[in-house]
Amino acid sequence: MDRTVATGTGFIGQYPAEVAKVYESLAGCPDALLLFFHHVAWTYKLHSGKTVIQHIYDSHYDGAERVQEFVREWKSLEGHMDDAHYRDVLARLEYQLGQAILWRDTICKWAYQMSGIADQRGRVAASR
């Protein structure tokens, strides 16, 4: 969505001038807010050096991996608390891991279908 004053909805104009100036500029807008304020190509390079599409792939895979690490860390606590509490939290974390993987796969598949650009790391590819 283009929310700039210059070419979009003008939404950025509601911010104080010094903040609006940062958000209005592609160069100044933080990566975390870029897609909220600007409409850019999948191949647009973020400040991080990654393209928008690669950031989408990487961030969703990183998120699922982080939840997997939570499960591993929790499992290391077995025997250090009552069994019912341990099992309850483990079940919730394992459920969250399943949902993180489902979300990752859904978003990455959608992004690939929309962009036609495969993941540089080979995790999301042409399987239409």
Residues in the chain: 128
What local confidence, expressed as pLDDT, does residue 126 receive?
59
CA distances 20 to 8, 32, 38, 43, Å, are 13, 16, 13, 25
Using the Cα atoms of residue 98, residue 74, residue 86 and residue 83 in order, give the sign of their dihedral.
positive
Q: What is the mean pLDDT of residues 100-105?
A: 97
- pLDDT band at residue 128, thresholds of 50, 70 and 90? very low
Question: Structural domains in the chain?
Answer: 1-40 (no CATH), 41-128 (3.90.1330.10)
CA distances 45 to 41, 73, 92, 110, Å, are 9, 35, 37, 20
For the stretch 36-82, pLDDT in tens is 999 999 999 999 999 999 999 999 999 999 999 999 999 999 999 99
